[in-house]
């Protein structure tokens, strides 16, 4: 029996379900096609991770997605899969442009939540004595938390429309970055087809005060040390050296993206009825890709994605300023450059091989990362010989990983891989577990300086609230859908 998720993401976990699932190999499981499923489900996981995955309704959501019209090949789930709104977080699904659909639930509320990795010319030894001062400068310069904004920066309406059309390029044109930054951002930091006219006035109003802010929850800016290098050739191409300082930025489209999703859920519920689409779960409300409703959602969703690219670009600018303040060095001496910037919540029109033939598909990646191979025309020129960088953040107390995309991912998962550790505890359970603890002191004992907007955020984000990202990365590496390059360990973190 195909079940239903609860009415709203984060509103309370549904009851666990048990279902039959076939083991394909050490890294893959199959949910056989049954009932209204049009394709099977494929889950990338090992036995240990599968034990946890079975404990919520994420696998039922994989089955539900497989029921949507026009889905191609399989409903896919990455090893960091967990329950989400409609689609599981960690879900990937591709749809035919003629018969298939596009669904806000397959993108999520935080449109183009993603990660940007910066490298620097500093070594851990050079930076070590200044980390606390650096974390304070980052916390001072980058607004964090719910409702955060910079008093000295606010968009006007005309500038916001240009940002929604142009993405990170708008920020660079306005002196908030370098032209070369755009070479190392997915889609060059701007999705063509973004239509600000499809974004509601309420969404635009929410966005104007929030550009250049980190937000709350699991969003962060993290100063890291390159602790391990697994692939010397790929690390050289990405400019990563052992013991070098890197900076990761994890945030998205803030209230603007949330509002776009909220607005279009109502549109898509009506569209599902009007187009006669059977929904196994109302949260999977959708419209044909080429319908008026589908085209309007794509225009608005791409505009929100461009806002997120611009958001990470401004934060990059303020990261550079913070380093200059603390180390009293110029940009050239600090050498802070963009390694890559990837989307985690997006649906895009892409060309893929299906049964030996090229097809244009609408690929939904929700809590999943694009992982294009070496030689692909959309892999940046600097990385053309090694593959597109894949950025996988972990929790604030352990480590993150840099990988590269592979040909196998392109052939098997529509060029997709995991996006992070995946939650193990709900936010409520994490807060309960953290009660009575000094999380800041715990982190300092690990050699990590942490600054946050409030204790509640830190309690929700304790390391044990997440799966061990090394286990997740091990699965995708062994499955061949991305390849390990380097491990980064945190030494300073600011949280929303």
Nearest to 74 by CA among 93, 102, 98, 53: 93
Neighbours of 262 (CB within 10 A): 15
Output the DSSP codes for 439-458: HHHHHHHTT-EEEES-HHHH
From the list 82, 344, 419, 477, the catalytic residue is 419
Contact 471, 424 (CB under 8 A): no
Residues 307, 313, 315, 321, CA torsion sign = negative
Phi and psi for 433 in degrees, rounded to 5?
-65, -30
E strands present in 57-212: 75-82, 89-96, 101-102, 114-123
Nearest C-alpha neighbor of 61 from the set 30, 83, 93, 28:
83
Question: Which residues are CB-neighbours of 80 under 8 A, at least 6 positions away?
Answer: 89, 90, 367, 418, 419, 420, 421, 422, 467, 469, 472
Q: How many residues are given for the chain?
A: 496
- Alpha helix (H) residue ranges in 116-200: 124-127, 131-141, 157-166, 168-173
Helices (H), 189-253: 201-208, 232-238
Phi then psi dihedrals of residue 116, to 5 deg: -120, 130
Query: Residue 464 carries which DSSP code?
Result: G
CA 118 to chain centre: 16
The whole-angstrom separation of Cα 105 and Cα 366 is 8
**Strand partners for 492:** 223, 449
Question: What is the C-alpha separation between 77 and 59, in angstroms, rounded?
Answer: 8
User: Do the Cβ atoms of 335 and 158 come closer than 8 Å?
Assistant: no
Q: Is 82 annotated as catalytic?
A: no
| Cα 346 to Cα 361: distance, rounded to the nearest angstrom | 13
Query: Six-digit token pair at 7?
Result: 């009415």
Contact 165, 158 (CB under 8 A): no
- Annotated catalytic residues are 419
């Amino acid at each position: 029996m195909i079940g239903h998720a609860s009415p709203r993401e984060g509103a309370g976990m549904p009851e666990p379900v048990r279902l039959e699932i076939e083991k394909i190999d050490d890294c893959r499981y199959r949910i056989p096609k049954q009932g209204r499923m049009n394709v099977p489900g494929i889950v990338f996981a090992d036995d240990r991770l599968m034990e946890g995955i079975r404990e919520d309704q994420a696998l039922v959501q994989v089955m539900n997605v497989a029921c949507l019209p026009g889905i191609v090949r399989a409903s896919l789930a990455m090893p960091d899969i967990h329950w989400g709104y409609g689609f599981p977080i960690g879900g990937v699904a591709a749809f035919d442009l003629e018969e298939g659909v596009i669904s806000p639930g397959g993108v999520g509320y935080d449109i183009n939540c993603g990660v940007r990795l910066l490298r620097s010319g500093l070594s851990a030894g050079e930076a070590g004595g200044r980390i606390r001062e650096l974390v304070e400068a980052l916390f001072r310069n980058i607004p964090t938390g719910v409702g955060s904004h910079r008093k000295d920066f606010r968009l006007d309406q005309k500038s916001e429309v240009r940002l929604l059309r142009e993405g990170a390029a708008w920020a660079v044109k306005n002196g908030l970055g370098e032209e070369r930054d755009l070479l190392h951002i997915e889609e060059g930091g701007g999705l063509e087809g973004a239509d600000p006219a499809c974004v509601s006035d309420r969404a635009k109003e929410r966005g104007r005060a929030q550009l250049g802010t980190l937000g709350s929850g699991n969003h962060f800016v993290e100063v890291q040390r390159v602790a391990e290098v697994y692939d010397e050739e790929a690390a050289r191409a990405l400019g990563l050296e052992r013991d070098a300082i890197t900076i990761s930025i994890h945030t998205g489209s803030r209230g603007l993206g949330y509002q776009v999703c909220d607005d279009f859920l109502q549109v898509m519920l009506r569209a599902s009825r009007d187009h006669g689409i059977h929904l196994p779960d109302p949260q999977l409300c959708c419209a044909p890709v080429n319908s008026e409703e589908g085209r309007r959602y794509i225009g608005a969703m791409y505009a929100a994605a461009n806002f997120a690219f611009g958001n990470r670009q401004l934060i990059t600018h303020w990261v550079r300023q913070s380093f200059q303040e603390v180390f009293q060095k110029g940009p050239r001496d600090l050498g802070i450059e963009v390694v890559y910037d990837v989307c985690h919540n997006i649906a895009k029109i892409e060309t893929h091989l299906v049964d030996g033939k090229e097809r244009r598909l609408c690929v939904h990646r929700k809590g999943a990362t694009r992982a294009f191979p070496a030689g692909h025309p959309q892999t940046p020129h600097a990385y053309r010989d090694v593959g597109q960088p894949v950025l996988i953040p972990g929790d604030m107390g352990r480590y993150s990983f840099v990988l590269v995309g592979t040909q196998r991912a392109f052939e098997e998962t529509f060029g997709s891989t995991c996006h992070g550790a995946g939650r193990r505890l709900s936010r409520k359970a994490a807060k309960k577990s953290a009660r009575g603890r000094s999380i800041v002191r715990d982190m300092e004992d690990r050699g990590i300086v942490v600054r946050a907007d409030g204790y509640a955020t830190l309690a929700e984000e304790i390391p044990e609230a997440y799966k061990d990202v090394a286990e997740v990365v091990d699965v995708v590496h062994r499955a061949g859908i991305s390849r390990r390059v380097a491990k980064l360990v945190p030494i300073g973190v600011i949280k929303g």
